Amino acid sequence: MTVERFDAGGWFDSPWSRRRLDLGASAEARSLVQEIVARVRQEGDSALFEYSRRFDGWAPGPGEPLELGRPEMEAAWDRLSPHRRAALELAQRRIEEFHSTQLGPEVSGLPGLKLITRPVDRVGLYIPGGRAAYPSSVLMTAVPARVAGVGEISLATPPAADGSVPIPVLAAAHLAGVDRIYRMGGAQAISALAYGTASVRPVDLIAGPGNLYVTLAKREVFGAVGIDGIAGPTEIMVVADAGARPDLIAADLASQMEHDPLAWAVLVTDSAGLIDAVDEALEDLTPRLERAEVVRGARCCLILAGSMDEAMRISNEFAPEHLEIIAADSDRLARLADNAGAIFLGPWAPVSLGDYVIGPNHTLPTAGAARFGSPLGVYTFMKRSSLASLTEGDFGMLAEAAATLAEMEGLGAHAGALRAREVDSKGGRPG
């Protein structure tokens, strides 16, 4: 594991502070994804199954379904131990309770105007496979979709070489109310969800985390469908003062580095002693981790700031996916956090707890997108429309200004449509 040390000025001058804004996609990777998306769109199942055999190691044989339905999910739930079921139920309940607060009433503003929201009809959720099974990601994506009122939820996940899907993923899908699971992964899955094939029903929006190829494919199909965002590798920033425990900080940094060798883990502090202690704690911890090799491949930075306020300025510039603040005045510092996907205050609210059961979503903006983006939520699965219902008096108050603006833009037919109503309104209602 390479641990880089910086002072505040050195950090801002370093390419490290900007390197993660590039997803690291080579021209070859982008070209391959474009080819996969185009072929699945044009050739349907034949291309989908070809790429599934190539990249997932499995594709359905003759008469074998790509899709798993609710009976298979229910059977997986029945096979799960009571202890594991209880953990999933606790997480599901807290996620649903938190996300239910995001359902707002239809908004009324000026007279005759209203902002109305409606759920997306069909959603496709992508759940990664490969290195690990992620039932938590099933809950974090499917539960908000259900709360939003989405009519049909499909889920795509890479199968094992025998075509199986991990029991915890199937069980979480049952609990969250997923309608079907497609055993497919990668860019081919994203294209199939976006455009449809004989075996895959097309969706209106695709959400959920994935690897580089999934991310590039989501970017490629955007416009044909909606997407939740473009995600990079996971990242954590810890802002801590001299009173924070170095062993806990090291454990929290490692918890995100174990996801991906491209992950980012950053400590910012005004204490040189804490930096030394955390560096030492990481050296001691890493060899004892099950995923030590993944952790060693990740990027870790320790930054010495001149003050805790400067530490927060660094945090806002970095715009981390996860921000932990462990300091005596953490509440004050949190009010300075303008750019962060999710904020965790104090030693008892680690990111690892938030990944599963605190309640807020763990699908968050990465790679600096917290400067303008938000966590996945109920609103991800909602579309908004404005509704205008004006009286003749409202029209009379507004029409002259609108016609003048239309004439300023050279759009005479716009002005004419307004003037026609002005004439008609003197003798009766238009239409």
Mind telling me the catalytic residues?
Answer: 321-322
Q: Which residue type, as a one-letter code, is found at position 384?
A: R
Q: What is the biggest distance separating any 2 CA atoms in the chain, rounded to whole angstroms? A: 87
Strands of the sheet with 113-119, listed across from one edge: 107-108, 113-119, 382-388
Residue 112 CB contacts under 8 Å (≥ 6 apart), including other chains: 388, 389, 390, 391, 394
Q: Which residues pair with 326 in a beta bridge?
A: 240
Q: CB of 372 within 8 A of CB of 111?
A: no
CB atoms near residue 386 (< 10 Å): 10
**What's the CA gap between 116 and 382, in Å, rounded?**
10
Q: How many beta carbons lie within 10 A of that of residue 356, not counting itself?
A: 18
* Burial readout 186-221 (b: 16 or more C-beta within 10 A, e: otherwise): bbbbbbbbbbebebbbebbbbbbbbbbbbbbbbbbb
Please, are residues 202 and 223 in contact by the beta-carbon 8 Å criterion? no
**Which CA distances in Å does 16 have to 213, 271, 365?**
23, 21, 19
* Cβ pair 159, 56 in contact under 8 A: yes
With a CB cutoff of 8 Å and minimum separation 6, the contacts of 140 are 95, 361, 362, 363, 376
